[in-house]
Structure 1
Amino acid sequence: MRYTAKEGFRHDDTPRLGVLIANLGTPDAPTTPALRKYLAQFLADPRVIELPRIVWRAILHGIVLRTRPKKSAAAYREVWSEDGSPLLVTGLAQTRGIGERLAERLEGPVAVELAMRYGSPSMAEGLQKLRDQGAERLVVLPMYPQYSGSTTASTFDALADELKQWRWIPELRFIGQYHDDERYIRCLADSIREHWQAHGRGEKLLFSFHGTPKRYLLNGDPYHCQCLKTARLVAEELELTRDDWMVSFQSRFGNEEWLKPYTDETITEFARSGMKTLDVICPGFSADCLETLEEIEGENAEYFEENGGESLRYIRCLNDRSDHLDMLTDLLLEHVQGWPEAGGPPRGLRDQQATRDRALALGAEN
């Protein structure tokens, strides 16, 4: 007999650790209808667009969803592969790699699933798969190194919205950030070193992070500070001088002021000032996606060349690099300390058959 999350406990479950790997999301296809559906969910999130709902709904449905889906679909077609969206393909590879590593290092069973905040597989689907496998302890890893209300907190919202419908809530741990983790910094630095060994070193290294409205920073979001710290620590690891590197922010949307300096304006100015080679890395993204492949490697590279530059070399995200997956696995292991699968006391463990036999003897149905 199968059951849904809302039906809860089964006496013959095999208790295990559940790991949910969460990322932003992707449309189901690079088409206008698929983008309209995806953007309607994404841009309706009050964590993403912090405007009065009645005002924003009028703008979203009256303007944005009438114009943006077609343009976004064309951009997605530039990066879409035979296997699908790059974010989803890489997310699945990351999930498999982390699952394999955890299975080797944990003392008890583990299930690892991928979920997207927007689109498929949804948070509800990812959580249901873990519940179906008997996950009674759950650790959630949003794949955002730097915390932001519009990403990390939004993931927590979706998690809570689903779990509040469950009768039996798993023990829960949530990883909020890892922007200054030494292993993460080392992975970024190593990826840059490898790029330089293969392609030579550009005249400057630009750290481009996804932008947010400046208003979010002024209202207390730590994202801006964490981005700056990540870049500074990587620069120190690489022993760069302050003139060797710079931070900028990309992907602004709408008319209000966002975090500055803007990536597209910065890259254009570099080229106009006589710079010929520029290296760009996007440390806020754990996997390559539209914003890195189409926006940086494509669109912004064109800006650089159109204004006199010769070569913008984009340094790929950490994706499913072995050292990246090792680092994420270590991070997860630190957050499950004290649970049975990580060598802690056997709380909640049970002999499934004996438990079921006793329950049936008392009149239970399963």
Structure 2
Amino acid sequence: MPFQPEPPHTHGTVARSAVVLVNLGTPDAPTAPAVRRYLKQFLSDPRVVEIPRLVWWFILNLIILPFRSGQSAKKYASIWTKEGSPLKVHTQKQAQLLAGALAERGHDGLTVAMAMRYGSPSLPEVLAQLKREGCERIAILPAYPQYSATTTGSIYDAVFSHYATVRNVPELRFIKQYHEHATYIAALRDSVLAHWASHGRPDKLVMSFHGVPKRTLMLGDPYHCQCLKTARLLAEQLKLSKDQYMVTFQSRFGKAEWLQPYTAPTLIALAQQDVKRVDLLCPGFTSDCLETLEEIAMEAKHDFETAGGQAFHYIHCLNETPAWITGMAEVAEQHMVGWPTRRTPAEQQAQQQAGQQARAAALALGAAD
């Protein structure tokens, strides 16, 4: 197999380190063609759908894509912003703030990049760009706190597949999970308490995680157990008793049994049991997206209130909250122990000179005007 050409090498160049924040992905636009391209890439991943390839090809291309693309496009349009897809916008901002937080902690010689497993900017494109920039140490930080073969495992596949075509492979470190990391749990706690400080407390707190087929649990995927541990740790931080919160799973697809209890039927049942107010958060998502803003904040709210519930509060994802940016910085920092992530004196001097030249140019331009 031919390898990609290596970028030109200059002796004496200082190799850099990088953190790549990887999220699931999103269509480029809330249109049927864009959603169809995205869904085809996403649902063609054998990590995501474990059905014999030939059978799944017919189902995907003859049933799902022709009919679901338009429906999904309407849902994306309902949450799209002027800046673009919420998931992409939040992930971009998180990466920028993470770079700043790490620099404040002394890691000023570090590059932070954002990539998507499906869609753009694609993970291979970002990894190739980092090589051109001289990054010889790469830490992969998934946006998923809980490990699942369908998410984090798929990121591993994409990274390994890319570097199978690279002659000079950088040093790699993978952050597999942080579902019980103290700063992640603390960030969730703070977000819930902040909401309650403004809006009061609910009758029931529901923690809704993205669902996966039950068979993945039976085959050894740790996702279910890690979701339950996250929920237990958060409940302890909030000082909730077992009857004050629930764990559910959303986004069920197809006829197979998925992890239970399912979110929508649970909310309807709670309303029918005369539970007046429910607050719901999605701890498995670190950025708001279609599954939180449309499926939960709109559809789930409608289900609960239509069934007789009086008040449904969606507590937003961690997004760019300062506590979570600090949490990401600590998680990344702990996985880069031993890496030279600070600028050398020569780099510091070069940056100072560049800054001086830029200021001089700006002054000269102002004088000319």
Q: Distance in 1 between matches of 2:83 and 2:200?
A: 31
Contact 2:183–2:326 under 8 Å retained in 1: no
Offset, 1:133:
1.6
- What does residue 364 of structure 2 align with? none
- What does residue 6 of structure 1 align with? 5
Q: Distance in 1 between matches of 2:320 and 2:279?
A: 21
- What does residue 358 of structure 1 align with? none
Q: Distance in 2 between matches of 1:333 and 1:9?
A: 30
Runs of 4+ in 1 over 6 A off after TM superposition: none
- What does residue 272 of structure 1 align with? 272
Q: Distance in 2 between matches of 1:25 and 1:53?
A: 22
Q: Distance in 2 between matches of 1:161 and 1:55?
A: 24
- What does residue 340 of structure 1 align with? 340
Contact 2:7–2:132 under 8 Å retained in 1: no
Q: Does the alignment pair 1:305 with 2:322?
A: no
SS at 1:206's partner residue? strand
Amino acid at match of 2:5: K
- What does residue 210 of structure 2 align with? 210
Q: Does the alignment pair 1:48 with 2:13?
A: no
SS at 2:117's partner residue? strand
Amino acid at match of 1:339: W
Q: Provide Cα deviations, 1:305-360, integer angstroms capped at 9, x if missing partner.
A: 111011110000000111101110011111110112269xx9xx999xxxxxxxxx
Amino acid at match of 1:7: E
SS at 1:168's partner residue? coil
Offset, 1:107:
5.0
Q: CA RMSD in A?
A: 1.8
Contact 1:18–1:112 under 8 Å retained in 2: yes
Contact 1:102–1:329 under 8 Å retained in 2: yes
Q: Provide Cα deviations, 1:200-239, integer angstroms capped at 9, x if missing partner.
A: 1110000000000001100100000000000000001111
SS at 1:140's partner residue? strand
Q: Distance in 2 between matches of 1:121 and 1:278?
A: 37
Amino acid at match of 1:206: V
Amino acid at match of 2:241: T
Contact 1:6–1:165 under 8 Å retained in 2: no
SS at 2:150's partner residue? helix
SS at 2:5's partner residue? helix
SS at 1:76's partner residue? helix
Matches within 5 A, 1:145-164: 145-164=145-164
Contact 2:110–2:342 under 8 Å retained in 1: no
Which stretch of structure 1 is more off in the superposition, 100-109 or 142-151?
100-109
- What does residue 219 of structure 2 align with? 219
Distance 1:282 1:295, change over 3 A: same
Contact 1:8–1:166 under 8 Å retained in 2: no
Amino acid at match of 2:115: A
TM-score by length of 1: 0.91
Amino acid at match of 1:115: A
List runs of 5+ in structure 1 lacking aligned partners: 352-366
Q: Provide Cα deviations, 1:170-211, integer angstroms capped at 9, x if missing partner.
A: 111000000001111111011100000111111000000000
- What does residue 32 of structure 2 align with? 32
Q: Does the alignment pair 1:242 with 2:242?
A: yes
Q: Distance in 2 between matches of 1:33 and 1:93?
A: 27
Contact 2:26–2:118 under 8 Å retained in 1: yes
Offset, 1:50:
0.7
Q: Does the alignment pair 1:193 with 2:193?
A: yes
Distance 1:342 1:243, change over 3 A: farther
Contact 1:202–1:277 under 8 Å retained in 2: yes
Offset, 1:11:
1.7
Q: Distance in 2 between matches of 1:152 and 1:6?
A: 28
- What does residue 360 of structure 2 align with? none
Distance 1:202 1:5, change over 3 A: farther
Amino acid at match of 1:190: D
SS at 1:246's partner residue? strand
Sequence identity percentage: 49
Amino acid at match of 2:6: E
Amino acid at match of 1:122: S
Q: Distance in 2 between matches of 1:197 and 1:83?
A: 30
Matches within 5 A, 1:1-366: 6-8=5-7, 10-11=9-10, 13-107=13-107, 109-341=109-341
Offset, 1:105:
2.4
Contact 2:286–2:319 under 8 Å retained in 1: yes
List runs of 5+ in structure 2 lacking aligned partners: 348-369
Contact 1:185–1:233 under 8 Å retained in 2: yes
Amino acid at match of 1:322: P
Size of the aligned set, in residue pairs, is 344
Offset, 1:8:
4.2
SS at 1:6's partner residue? coil
Q: Provide Cα deviations, 1:4-38, integer angstroms capped at 9, x if missing partner.
A: 96324512544111111100000000000001000
Distance 1:5 1:286, change over 3 A: farther
SS at 1:150's partner residue? coil
Which stretch of structure 1 is more off in the superposition, 57-66 or 38-47?
57-66
Offset, 1:125:
1.7
